[in-house]
Structure 1
């Protein structure tokens, strides 16, 4: 007996230490189950679910299709944004054209009013000779060409002046010719202003539509990045997570209903 006890007693402390370690681990596991039972059940059930579900080639292909769609929408959104920026820049340029045309029209109308007031006075008498008529014709042609270079007369108007048609008479007094020329200039600048306004409105509509399309594509690209294909139902049901308490506490305040529920911003 003494020989048997002498052989067993040296192993008793090691065995006791092992048993103490096992008891400590068991106590920790029991405490975890008591304190947070829901999380442990979710973790264990999730591992069993992942192990039980086989690989799904169709699901993998669906994931690839979703990723490809999200990338294509993102590229389309970038292109639409670039187009919207370009059209907005063009719209701003047409606004400058409208302002420039309006300024030129106002200056032409002011000059025309001054000439109309001066034309009320008696015209100075000049001799009606072939040389005088030739001087009047040269003055009219030169004044019309200069106005055309400034953009105050159109090509058709200049052609009418040089051909002496559409009411252009080189035999008139230079004061009368300038008054007629300024009226033609006013009419041309008014038409140019109307055309600039029409271009500005068309450019605004195009920029607005492009901006709306770009915003829609950006929203769709964001939703596509956030959206994931729905997973098939698990063969192992997932346990429900513990629901929070509905008691009226500081952590769970009572939410108002009806008109009082509108948040203040």
Structure 2
């Protein structure tokens, strides 16, 4: 009985120690399995093409050239587009300057036409007031009518050479059309002549004003087009400069390196 009790007291603690060690080992293994590392490679850069004649000459066949400045059709297209837009912008700017010069010329013509109309209007009012006054009585004889006709012809010719009458209006004077009557008193004839000149100057002013308005619209359209093309040319030039700007060597080397990122994830059961 003593021997059995002795064996029991010795073996029980030993067995408890063994089971404790086994339980601790199982917990450790389970912890490692639950939180085990996974290694996932990042997408690798495409492998460079085999070195050819361009690589030996320092061309774009090497890996640094492939990861550096863009070459080939893309860069050629960017350069060609930038050049075309620059040429178009220069032409648009020249057109805008020419349209503005035309508008300034038309504006001066409007001012000149207005001054001529204003002078003709003042003269017409002055002679209209004189014609309203009592006129000096003259004998109605053929000689008097011939003198009046000669006076009208001389006044009309002088107005024509000054540019106050057109060829058509001068022919109306000699043909006695459209209110031209050589039998009228010379004062009345002067009033009629200045009234015709005033109407002609007013028509010239309206034509000049319409021409100035059209020239101003053309200048505005040309200026807007020049600004738009200038902005587009600037953007195209910036895009081309950004395309041909050299890339740092460190960045080029990193583009061809496969980097491994280690992340901790829970273990997948099964």
Where in structure 1 are there 5+ consecutive unaligned residues? 1-49, 240-265
Name whichever structure is richer in strand by fraction.
Answer: 2
Matched, 1:226 2:227: no
Look up the match of 1:76: 88
The answer to whether the Cα contact below 8 Å between 2:96 and 2:222 also exists between their aligned partners in 1 is yes
Look up the match of 1:253: none
The answer to which structure, 1 or 2, has the higher relative contact order (CA under 8 A, 6+ apart) is 2
Deviation per CA, 1:128-147: give whole Å up to 9, x if none: 22222122112111211221
Q: Which deviates more, 222-231 or 125-134? A: 222-231
Look up the match of 2:202: 190
Where in structure 2 are there 5+ consecutive unaligned residues? 1-59, 245-251, 260-270
Look up the match of 1:128: 140
Give the Cα separation in 2 of the matches to 1:237 and 1:176: 104
TM-score, scaled to structure 2: 0.64
Give the Cα separation in 2 of the matches to 1:80 and 1:119: 57
What SS is found at the alignment partner of 1:227? helix
Change (3 A) 1:237 1:135: farther
After TM superposition, give the deviation of residue 226 of structure 1 in Å: 0.1
Q: How many residues were matched structurally?
A: 189
What SS is found at the alignment partner of 1:167? coil
Give the Cα separation in 2 of the matches to 1:173 and 1:235: 103
The answer to whether the Cα contact below 8 Å between 1:52 and 1:235 also exists between their aligned partners in 2 is no
Change (3 A) 1:113 1:235: same
**C-alpha RMSD of the superposition:** 2.7
Matches within 5 A, 1:1-265: 52=63, 55=66, 59-228=71-240, 236=256
The answer to whether the Cα contact below 8 Å between 1:148 and 1:155 also exists between their aligned partners in 2 is yes
Change (3 A) 1:145 1:227: same
The answer to whether the Cα contact below 8 Å between 2:159 and 2:165 also exists between their aligned partners in 1 is yes
